[in-house]
Amino acid sequence: MNFSLRTISLLLLISATLLALLAYEKGIYKTYSVDLSRQQQIGLNTDLSQGGQTTADISYSDQGIKLKCNISLEYQWPYCELKIHLAERADQGSFDYAQGVDLSAYTEVFLNIATEGDNSEQIRFYIRNYNPEYTNLNSDGNSLKINEVQYSPNQYPTGKFIPIKDFNVVSWWLQARDIPLELRGVEISNSPLLTIASGGVVDEGPITIIVKEITFRYNLVSKENILFTVIAMWFFSAVIALLLQLKSFRQRLSYSKGQQLKLNDVLVALKLEKAQLEQLAKRDALTGLRNRVGLSEYLLRGEEKAQDHNLPFSLIFLDIDFFKNVNDKHGHAVGDQLLIQFGRIINENIRQQDKLARRGGEEFILLCMETQQDKAITLAQKLCDLIATTVLIDEIMIAASFGVAQLHKGESTTSFLERADNALYKAKTNGRNQVQAAA
């Protein structure tokens, strides 16, 4: 092997490694982009069918699809929504909802959406799914499963990638139907319809939703496989180089062994990196909520604003009352679903700025940014009443206890958490199903 060929081989290997590392960082994606130019696939819906008076119209431009709504409070839950059909029309002209698009392989969706108007804080994005096990549009016109995510699009002016794992099946849709436990989760294997709707709570007045792009994607090659490929390339390249050098240059054997040891160091370092990444997971595996690691950055941020800028900061400890009895009576599977639904209900009834996490077991923690203690107590009482009057799953009624505390000037994190914990303990010892505030 002459010097020129060796140099070229090394450059090719380095180039391949750089490309692989670029793929590791950027990903190699399979995408499915929704065609927003097919006007025959686009429709709208408002609360007119429920007796409301919200009106809407659609227009098209180079910007995308523009849905203009005039929200009326005549209906209790006013809304307007844009419907994008993925299913094609049947021979008779109606949409064949049984023939949707299989989106189950996609791990995230890119939404480039903007809103205008006084009601422009949040939108709801639905992926509707058809499954003959629960979908019968003749007897139940709303039986396409509603997989939902809510967010504020104007916080992301260039668009936002949203993981599919962040979607939830809306609780009211589940509660209205007797669906087996194994079919109650997010399902997008046969999706004939996408919906972009106004937020769950809106005021009267105009709102405009502009849909610029909807693209689903998944990584064709996992990061683990890319790392393995890089390792394999270097490993086999080193082996080949070693064999060739052993044939022609036996005196360089010690040098080749040194290269092999360096390669082993790379293997160990990469394995350690993977283990560290796994340890830093910030989501609770069961509920999908933040865990304590995921919440810590918001806790530190709230304390910094409170101490440096004199902004109020409160937190609420939540504990499901007699949760062990549910596990003992109904089994851990039901208990797990109860935890999921509990977290979901709480998440749907707090502000965008509030951060909910699972503390462990049946305990949760809610950070109330820029919130005085009296406001946090009001929120906790609202959530306490809501949980006590809501059937979460299978006609099981539960209650919860709440402990509230506000960070004092100069107070340590440990003291802050201990006072909230003591308030929770007081709520539990005073009879549960109540809110107690720290001194």
Window from 244-258, 281-295, 360-374, 405-419 with minimum mean pLDDT: 244-258
Indicate the residue among 219, 235, 250 that finishes a domain: 219
- Is the per-residue pLDDT at 221 higher than 90? no
59 and 22 inside one domain = no
pTM: 0.50
253 and 154 inside one domain = no
pLDDT for 279 equals 47
Q: Given the DSSP bridges, would you call strands 42-46 and 80-85 parallel, antiparallel or unpaired? A: antiparallel
55 and 172 inside one domain = yes
Instruction: Find the mean pLDDT for residues 340-366.
Output: 93
Instruction: Find the mean pLDDT for residues 20-41.
Output: 82
Model pLDDT for residues 233-268, shown as the tens digit of each residue: 777 777 777 787 777 667 665 656 755 654 454 445
In order of 189, 210, 352, the CA distances from 62 in angstroms are 31, 11, 31
pLDDT for 31 equals 93
Instruction: Find the mean pLDDT for residues 216-234.
Output: 78
pLDDT for 391 equals 87
Indicate the residue among 219, 236, 253 that finishes a domain: 219
Q: How many domains does the chain have?
A: 3
Tokens standing for residue 131 = 């499954």
Model pLDDT for residues 269-280, shown as the tens digit of each residue: 445 455 555 545
Instruction: Find the mean pLDDT for residues 109-132.
Output: 90
In a domain, 287, yes or no: no
212 and 262 inside one domain = no
Mean pLDDT of the chain: 87
In a domain, 284, yes or no: no
- Is the per-residue pLDDT at 181 higher than 60? yes
58 and 76 inside one domain = yes
Model pLDDT for residues 354-374, shown as the tens digit of each residue: 999 998 899 999 999 999 999
Q: How far apart are CA 307 and CA 105, in angstroms?
A: 46
Instruction: Find the mean pLDDT for residues 115-143.
Output: 89
409 and 353 inside one domain = yes
9 and 79 inside one domain = no
In a domain, 285, yes or no: no
Instruction: Find the mean pLDDT for residues 44-69.
Output: 91
Indicate the residue among 232, 256, 279 that finishes a domain: 279
Q: CB under 8 Å to 154, separation ≥6 — which residues? A: 114, 115, 120, 121
Q: DSSP string covering 371-404, please? A: --HHHHHHHHHHHHHHHHT-EEETTEE--EEEEE
118 and 254 inside one domain = no
190 and 316 inside one domain = no
Range of the domain at 345: 292-437
In a domain, 368, yes or no: yes
Instruction: Determine phi and psi for 196, rounding to 5 degrees.
Output: -115, 115
229 and 149 inside one domain = no
Instruction: Find the mean pLDDT for residues 141-149.
Output: 95
181 and 207 inside one domain = yes
Instruction: Determine phi and psi for 232, rounding to 5 degrees.
Output: -65, -40
211 and 242 inside one domain = no
CATH number for 119: 2.60.120.430
In a domain, 286, yes or no: no
In a domain, 23, yes or no: yes
pLDDT for 90 equals 82
pLDDT for 239 equals 78
Collapsed DSSP state (helix, strand, coil) of residue 234: helix
- From the CB of residue 438, how many other CB atoms can be counted at a distance below 10 Å? 21
